[in-house]
Amino acid sequence: MKITLPDNSSRELPEGSSGYDLAKDIGPGLAKSAVAVTIDGVQKDLHDEIMTDSSVSIITIDSDEGLEIMRHTLTAQVLARAIKNLYPKSKLAIGPTIEDGFYYDVESEEVISSDDLNKIEEEMKKIIKSKSSITKKLVSKSEAMKVFKSNKEPYKEIIINESDQDDNFQLYYQEDEKFVDLCRGPHLPNLGFIGSFKLTKVSGAYWKGDSNNSMLTRIYGTAFNSDKDLQQHLDNLEEALKRDHRKLGKEMDLFHFQDEAPGMVFWHPYGWNIYKTLQSFIRNKLDKNGYLEINTPQVVDRKLWEASGHWDKYRENMFITEIDEEHANEKRVNALKPMNCPCHVQVYNQGIRSYKDLPIRYAEFGSCHRYEASGTMHGLMRVRGFTQDDGHIFCTQDQIESETALFISLLSEIYSDLGFKEFDIKLSTRPEVRIGSDEVWDKAESALENAIKKLDYPYKVDEGDGAFYGPKLDFVLTDAIGREWQCGTFQADFNLPDRLDAEYVGEDGNKHHPVMIHRAILGSFERFIGILIENYAGKLPFWLAPQQVVIASIVSEVNDYAIEVQELLKDQDVRAEIDLRNEKISYKVRDHSSKKVPIILAIGKKEKIDQTVSVRRIGSNDTEVLDLKEAIKQIKKENSIQH
């Protein structure tokens, strides 16, 4: 049997050899660290047999795949068993891995709270200490049902019963065979490979995410290969809590949410200052890059959504309105727009377009609404009502590459001005189910890739992850504490112009459908503002700060001077406020520092006489006395994002 390795070398092994046999054949070091195997692109358990010529790679514990398998084993074989040991009447549901960790959903007669996590952790450590080997049995559907019916595990029975397969159900046992779980695998060969872990929280979760089903207890955890990596992650989590935009939004008086409008943002004056400043910044960049700003209706008849195809695909996520039209015998069904693209085609379609008119770049700060399940909403990061920095480019196929390059350059400039100097690019190529010829896809994919290469940006290719209507680019930012945020997007669309009859007269005199490029840089203003708040821990760049300067009086006799300073700063378009409260200056400084005000100007009798100000900057305990004119000159300079 021929085994082809990742480096294209090959080895001959007897038919039925396992991944472990292959690792041992390559070398004892690899065999010692091997935890699983990939056979022809599919992950398998280390001791699964290889029956035919195959491409095989060994997964080691120190790889990303090995870490994922360790986390999966930890939740399915250790956390699940610990719960059954401590709460024998509990019923196991599901236990998948998630980003940086895992969780298990259980039904328990006893209340399991965060106070119980230490106890569960200790039980898990006892189980891990055994270093038990893990074995797998493949059984039929009826045999699997029998096992879990006997164990009184109704949720496992439901999973088995709803499965389309009739055999090869994977049951995983530990060495003493006192615990069994149904799992897709693969698992570690034994518990000795498990590194450092920590249970993090307890919450409620509906079975299958359906509020009509039972409420289960969800226990979350995280795991890494070393104590050091685990501690670094826990430190990052603690830092993330400090930076939580919801917490800072309340402290800085930026926005709030309430039950009467779930998932909709109530912007306060200071929060709206950020919004307006960011919007003005983006508008200026778009104007300079040849975009034509438009504005389209928020309520649109379902006929357009049916024509565009969105009604069939997004109907459940759309807010629907029904109106009794005058002189009509039936209701008119409209929807709040969940995206802007069909409306932009309507603007394009007004009049006859020539190839000489292309490319046409439309931009809109488009207000959209999408119904998100209540359990998925998260502050500004996921809302039901949001505004996109949306744009659509109508161009020829030959213009895709140049438009891609222009967009990436614009995006890079904007991200840099906002403090994100680096970003990752992912190119998603044709999926199996798609429209358009291979020739068109070849041309579009090459255009996107060539543009990235010419700009000399690193990128990775995600094969088959493109939209059915065209390839796309995703742009991912990394924030100050290492978290990744997918924000920008650039998608070539060969479908919508055809569906909505968008055309141009080509050089040959015939009518052609343009390529429609969907593009966004921030994504949504709401989410991006949340990212900015967390990235800067509320201490936004001076030009973007909601309160830029506060002039705080030390004694009431200088109130007139404080007002004069405020007016001079306002004349320079600086967001300046005065604090004339009858409070100690130390109290005022603490109060405004907690609200992340970048500059506090303290004014007393001496400052008034000398026409100076005492300047205190956020993050510094020092003050600097400056001549008023010099202080205003410096502040004016700081208010320019080109500094």
Question: What is the distance between the alpha carbons of residues 513 and 397, in angstroms, rounded to a whole number?
Answer: 10
Residue 472: active-site member: yes
Instruction: Give residue-wise pLDDT tens across range 135-176.
Output: 999 999 999 999 999 999 999 999 999 998 888 899 999 988
Mean pLDDT value of segment 613-639 = 93
| C-alpha 203 chain-centroid distance | 21
- Interatomic CA distance for residues 550 and 539, integer angstroms: 15
From the list 183, 341, 343, 487, the catalytic residue is: 341
> Is the per-residue pLDDT at 512 higher than 50?
yes
Name the catalytic one among 472, 519, 575, 596: 472
Give me the pLDDT at residue 433, please.
84
- Which of 163-177, 192-206, 265-279, 396-410 comes out lowest in average pLDDT? 163-177
pLDDT of residue 211: 82
CA distance 256 to 75: 36
Q: Domain spans of the chain?
A: 2-60, 66-232, 266-295+337-535, 299-336, 547-638
Catalytic residue among 392, 527, 596, 608: 392
In whole angstroms, give the CA distance from residue 70 to residue 189: 10
Name the architecture of domain 66-232. Answer: 2-Layer Sandwich (3.30)
Q: How far apart are the first and last CA of the chain?
A: 66
Q: Which of 81, 285, 337, 518 is catalytic?
A: 518
Q: Is the pLDDT of residue 177 over 50?
A: yes
Q: What is the pTM of this model?
A: 0.83
- The answer to whether the peptide bond before residue 359 is cis (omega within 30 degrees of 0) is yes
**In the annotation, is 268 catalytic?**
no
Confidence of residue 23 (pLDDT cuts 50, 70, 90): very high
Position 422 pLDDT exceeds 90: no
Q: What is the pLDDT of residue 330?
A: 72
- Which stretch of 360-369, 370-379, 384-393, 560-569 has the lowest confidence by average pLDDT? 370-379
User: Annotated catalytic, 115?
Assistant: no
Active-site hit among 45, 48, 116, 390? 390
Query: Which pLDDT belongs to residue 434?
Result: 84
Q: Residue-wise over 78-105: b if at least 16 C-beta within 10 A, else e?
A: bbbbbbbbbbeebbbbbbebeeebbbbb
> Is 233 an annotated catalytic residue?
no
Q: Which of the given ranges, 2-6, 275-279, 438-442, 477-481, has the highest pLDDT on average?
A: 275-279
Q: DSSP 3-state assignment of 527?
A: helix
Q: Examine the pLDDT at 73 and tell me if it is beyond 60.
A: yes
Share of the chain above pLDDT 90, in %: 83
Q: Dump pLDDT digits (tens) for 313-346.
A: 888 889 998 887 766 667 888 999 999 999 999 9
Average pLDDT, the chain: 93
Tell me, yes or no, if 547 is annotated catalytic: no
Residue 350 in contact with residue 358, Cβ under 8 Å? no
Q: What class does CATH assign to 547-638?
A: alpha beta
Taking the domain 266-295+337-535, which CATH number applies?
3.30.930.10
| 2-60 CATH fold | Ubiquitin-like (UB roll) (3.10.20)
pLDDT in tens, 232-289: 999 988 999 999 999 999 999 999 999 999 999 999 999 999 999 999 999 999 999 9
Q: In the prediction, which pLDDT does 282 show? A: 97
Q: Which residue in 181, 187, 361, 388 is the catalytic one?
A: 388
pLDDT at 642 over 60: no
**pLDDT tens, residue by residue, 36-47:** 999 999 999 999
* Residue 643 pLDDT exceeds 50: no
Q: Is residue 380 a contact partner of residue 268, using CB atoms and an 8 Å limit?
A: no
- Cross-strand bridge partners of residue 333: 322
Under the banding of pLDDT at 50, 70 and 90, the label for residue 469 is confident
Q: Which of 81, 302, 369, 370 is catalytic?
A: 370
Q: Which among 379, 308, 312 has a CA at the least distance from the CA of 339?
A: 308
Query: How many other β-carbons are positioned within 10 Å of the β-carbon of residue 343?
Result: 23
d(CA 473, CA 572) in angstroms, rounded, equals: 40
Catalytic, 156? Answer no
| pLDDT given at position 66 | 95
- State the pLDDT at residue 184: 87
Mean pLDDT of the region 553-570 = 96
DSSP letter assigned to residue 611: T
388 catalytic per annotation: yes
Instruction: Tell me the three state secondary structure of residue 187.
Output: coil
pLDDT in tens, 216-226: 999 999 999 99
Would you place residue 641 in the very low, low, confident or very high pLDDT band (cuts 50, 70, 90)?
low
* H or E stretch at 472: strand 472-478
Q: Nearest to residue 528, comparing CAs of 540, 513, 510? A: 540
